[in-house]
Amino acid sequence: MISAVCLGFFGSIFALVGMKCTKIGGSNKNKSRIACLAGVTYILSGACSLLAYSIYAHQIISEFFDPKFVEQK
């Protein structure tokens, strides 16, 4: 989850630098490459968060359907 947040942050920075309306980043060719890199980091961030949520949900579901767990009164 931490890696998803960090990748999202860096993706935001890359997207800011890759916009055509900013003066930083160099030529339009460099800006387009940086914007593409921002897209890739956003996709990786989404994959990392999906993985983290899937692992968490698997733990919750496996505890819920555990046949050995019996509530004692």
Dump pLDDT digits (tens) for 54-70: 988 888 887 777 767 65
Whole-structure pTM value: 0.74
pLDDT confidence of residue 36: 94
Mean pLDDT of 13-41: 88
pLDDT confidence of residue 67: 66
| CA–CA distances in Å: residue 58 to residues 12, 23, 39, 53 | 30, 46, 28, 8
Tell me the pLDDT tens digit for each residue of 34-59. 999 999 999 999 999 999 889 888 88
pLDDT confidence of residue 22: 81
